[in-house]
Amino acid sequence: MIKNYIRVAFRNLLKHKLFSVINILGLSVSMATCLLIILLIYSQKKVDGFHEKRDRIVRVLSVEEGRSFASTPLPLAKQLSENYPHLVEDAVQIKSSFVGGDVIYGENRIPLAGRYADDHLFAVFDFDLIAGDAATALNAPFSIVLTKTSAEKLFGATDPMGKSVKLNDIGLNTMGIDLILTENKETFLGDFVVTGIVDNSLPSHIQFDFLVSMSTLPSLVKQGKSDATFDNWDNYFDAYLYLLLKEGVSEKDVQPILDDIAFQQYNTLEDVAIAFTQEGLSQINLSKFHNNDIGLRMPVEVIYVLAFLGFIVLFSACFNYVNLSFARSLTRSKEIGVRKTMGAARYQVFIQFIMESILVGLLSLAVAIGLLQLLSRMFLGLWMNQFLRLDFRFDIALFLVFILFSILVGLMAGVLPASFLSSFSPVKALRNTRGLTLGKGKGLHLRKGLVVLQFCASLLFITTTLLIFSQLNYLMEKEYGFDQNHIINLKLQGMDYGTFAHELSKNPSIQGISASSFVPGTGGYSGDVLLQNQFTAGDSELASSFIAVDQNFLPNLKIELKAGTNFPSKMPMHNEEYVVLNEAAAKLLGHAIPENVVGETISIGENQTPVKVIGLTANFIYDLLTEAEPSDPLVLRYLPNEFAYLNIRYLPTASTTSILSYVEQKWKAMDKVHSLKYNIYVDELKGTNAIFSDIIYILGFISFLTIIISTLGLLGIAAFTAESKRKEISIRKVHGAKTKNITFLLSKGFLPLFIIAVLVTVPLSYFVNSLWLEEFAYKVNVSPWVFVLGIGIMFATGFGTILSQTLSAASDSLLKRLKEE
């Protein structure tokens, strides 16, 4: 029976090639996007799958004011493992702050990022320890466990076990990204003994280049090299806590204890209200966004958004299938009639049509898997994916999931047509061998509705993509309020800036050199500082961001000075005397006319240090453009200890490469250890908007797909309308209708659908897009031209398709048609 169904289905697909191609093409491109999302989820699910006790491992989370943090207070581990041994078999803590730095062995000095970890780490997790003893590797203070890769880098062919390495903390984190607060100072942590080598090539959410025993911390604290506190319950940013629960104990059993502890610790405190929750190990990598997470990952919210987009495209393709199947009920009605008279029950006909759609789904899967190769390569090229560990290899389980998915898609697409087609009464289906007339009944309403929905989705996607594109363009063109052209920013990495600046200034092409604690507009941040003057004496909460700059900074970046003067060229190295404010900060201090702030003495910081305001700058954008507000206050302070970057301005006539090679040469001469780290300012600012290009890339692709799919659908429907009306066309032509009359007659039915879609989508798109645009202080207006352009694109593609079909039908030779009747 099933063999018979499949045979008939195949013959049908071959016979109606246009429809088969439309269906398979539409379904396969949309399925490919869904497969990509499945692949994404699957690869994320695989993370941490190698830990044998994974079902019993949970991570404890802190929640404050509805915001969840992946980190917990340091004392929590001890409390749990000592007092509740009947529930908690083991507890492992990994300290959250970074021991990032240079690991030195002999002449070899390599920047690596590591973590402090409890001695039980290898008992709970199954990281593959290829050398060393799992039970003792992280026991003793000043033990270090290297990963296989870092060991090879550092030691080459030498056996690292038992060797001593030096560790220099320069504030490098595990992602290899600069810390937001740039630690410019190096801290020599001490000599460490290599006690283990671990192969961490299996995907885990815990990433590290090396691990240092947690027992090292107390001695570092004693030496003043760390501020970790093992009894401070208020600081819940400090450590990640993993519990190994006893066999048979569930998260539910532990939760009351966590609640109790939170109550005991925080009940009496007024301004701290922390609660603890848990998360199973297998969920960690796919869970919702947490603050202060242990590493970068794709939060489940992103996957939801992608899945939503994927489903829209998929639904659109399914609509095509439904639409075309309904339209084709015409040609299938005789078959249904005959089968039913020969004794087929409704469910049998139903199954036959469902089988057909599943077959189409499976065929589409084959095409989709091919497309997936292309698509996944494109996806991996996205900016955001450089931070993720994506493993897109295939395996049998994944393949089964794909097949299951395609069957599901087949069912989804086929269930409506199948139930409609199988409902035909045999007498009616046979009596009218030209079929049930197209254009009557519930089928038609449904079809029209689906066409409208497709129009809506396309229009929404087109307008949204256009708006995001113009917003990105706007941000790219936006004036920051300083001149970023012909500037190279380099990271000092501990270099003495005075000496180096002096070296650089010997090059005549270098116009100016300044120093700052972060580079404005690139997401850097030096901290907030409290402000007070006579107007705001009662208000102790006024705070402003600050940036540490030298006296060359303002002229070098060509920041407009509104009033007063710049820092004098001779400044004391230590006691802070002067500050420069921006206009927003002046307003914050209660000056309606910002210029009046100049000359005033204000107090800044916790210690209320009195300083004199000597200058006022215009409001320039110092935060990320996407985050910045025009009213963000800023204090420019002269704090040489905080300088972390050099801003080198060179002549527009000089070539960037020659300047760079000069700088590099000087750098190498002065710092034998660190490699030069620099950014060309213009490119760096553009790079801060990289997430936008990802979004445009994704949305553009999705809108392209929805348009393609809905165009295909229209093509099918138009072809069928023309087909089903060929008798009418012939009769009209016999009576003198011209091609253009008939074309108009056939096409006009789509116009109301188009208009309905426009009427529905324009307000919807306006609303949706205003929603996200609200998040930006600097934003474009939702211009009517966006909608005009979007509607234009839709109109052109839609009616181009329809006309191609109706024109050919209208110009067909007429007698041939009539004879066939």
If the CB atoms of residues 167 and 355 are measured against another protein, the closer one turns out to be: 355
Least Å from the CB of residue 411 to another protein? 22
Q: Pick out residues in 309-338 that bind another protein (CB under 8 A).
A: 334-335, 337-338
Does residue 15 touch another protein according to CB under 8 A?
A: yes
Query: Angle between the 300-327 and 329-341 helix axes, to the nearest 10 degrees?
Result: 70
Number of residues located near another protein, criterion CB under 8 A: 23
Q: How far are the Cα atoms of 438, 458, 786 from residue 754, in angstroms, in the given order? A: 20, 11, 17
Which of 344, 371, 501, 519 binds another protein (CB under 8 A)? It is 344
If the CB atoms of residues 430 and 803 are measured against another protein, the closer one turns out to be: 430
- Taking the C-alpha atoms of residue 270 and residue 602, their distance in angstroms, rounded to an integer, is 31
If the CB atoms of residues 431 and 502 are measured against another protein, the closer one turns out to be: 431
| Cross-strand bridge partners of residue 516 | 549, 645
- Taking the C-alpha atoms of residue 186 and residue 202, their distance in angstroms, rounded to an integer, is 32
Does residue 151 touch another protein according to CB under 8 A?
A: no
Q: In the 3-class helix/strand/coil scheme, how is 456-478 assigned residue by residue?
A: HHHHHHHHHHHHHHHHHHHHHHC
Of 323, 367, 368, 370, residue with least CA distance to 712? 323
From first CA to last CA, the distance across the chain in angstroms is: 34
If the CB atoms of residues 15 and 502 are measured against another protein, the closer one turns out to be: 15
Q: What one-character DSSP code corresponds to residue 85?
A: T
On whether the CB atoms of residues 360 and 28 are closer than 8 A, the answer is no
On whether the CB atoms of residues 186 and 494 are closer than 8 A, the answer is yes
Question: What's the token pair of residue 166?
Answer: 């030096």
If the CB atoms of residues 339 and 649 are measured against another protein, the closer one turns out to be: 339
Does residue 11 touch another protein according to CB under 8 A?
A: yes
Question: What's the token pair of residue 13?
Answer: 């697909």
Which of 157, 342, 396, 592 binds another protein (CB under 8 A)? It is 342
Give the binding range for another protein (CB under 8 A) out of 6-14, 378-386, 640-648, 683-691. 6-14
Q: Pick out residues in 246-265 that bind another protein (CB under 8 A).
A: none
If the CB atoms of residues 343 and 508 are measured against another protein, the closer one turns out to be: 343
Least Å from the CB of residue 335 to another protein? 6
Residues in Cβ contact with 303 at an 8 Å cutoff, skipping those fewer than 6 apart: 37, 40, 41, 44, 286
Cα-trace Rg, the chain = 34
If the CB atoms of residues 11 and 740 are measured against another protein, the closer one turns out to be: 11
Give the binding range for another protein (CB under 8 A) out of 34-42, 63-71, 422-430, 643-651. 422-430
Give the binding range for another protein (CB under 8 A) out of 3-11, 33-41, 153-161, 373-381. 3-11
Does residue 397 touch another protein according to CB under 8 A?
A: no
Question: What's the token pair of residue 489?
Answer: 């920013």
Least Å from the CB of residue 333 to another protein? 11
If the CB atoms of residues 13 and 294 are measured against another protein, the closer one turns out to be: 13
Does residue 183 touch another protein according to CB under 8 A?
A: no
Binding mask 345-384 for another protein (x = CB under 8 A): x--x------------------------------------
Neighbours of 755 (CB within 10 A): 12
- Sign of the torsion angle spanned by Cα atoms 714, 716, 720, 723: positive
Q: What one-character DSSP code corresponds to residue 618?
A: -
Least Å from the CB of residue 431 to another protein? 8
Residues in Cβ contact with 282 at an 8 Å cutoff, skipping those fewer than 6 apart: 45, 48, 49, 54, 55
Question: What's the token pair of residue 170?
Answer: 């320069």
Give the binding range for another protein (CB under 8 A) out of 1-9, 165-173, 486-494, 753-761. 1-9
Does residue 483 touch another protein according to CB under 8 A?
A: no
In a 13 Å sphere around the CA of 744, the CA atoms on its Cβ side amount to 6
- Taking the C-alpha atoms of residue 573 and residue 578, their distance in angstroms, rounded to an integer, is 12
Residue where the block lists tokens 């087929």: 344
Q: Pick out residues in 423-462 that bind another protein (CB under 8 A).
A: 425-427, 430, 433
Least Å from the CB of residue 444 to another protein? 23
Least Å from the CB of residue 5 to another protein? 9
Question: What's the token pair of residue 22?
Answer: 């439309």
If the CB atoms of residues 83 and 425 are measured against another protein, the closer one turns out to be: 425
If the CB atoms of residues 11 and 748 are measured against another protein, the closer one turns out to be: 11
Question: What's the token pair of residue 445?
Answer: 């309403």
Least Å from the CB of residue 417 to another protein? 17
Does residue 12 touch another protein according to CB under 8 A?
A: yes
Give the binding range for another protein (CB under 8 A) out of 11-19, 156-164, 207-215, 375-383. 11-19
Least Å from the CB of residue 326 to another protein? 20
Tell me which residues touch another protein (CB under 8 A): 1, 4, 7-8, 11-12, 15, 334-335, 337-339, 341-345, 348, 425-427, 430, 433
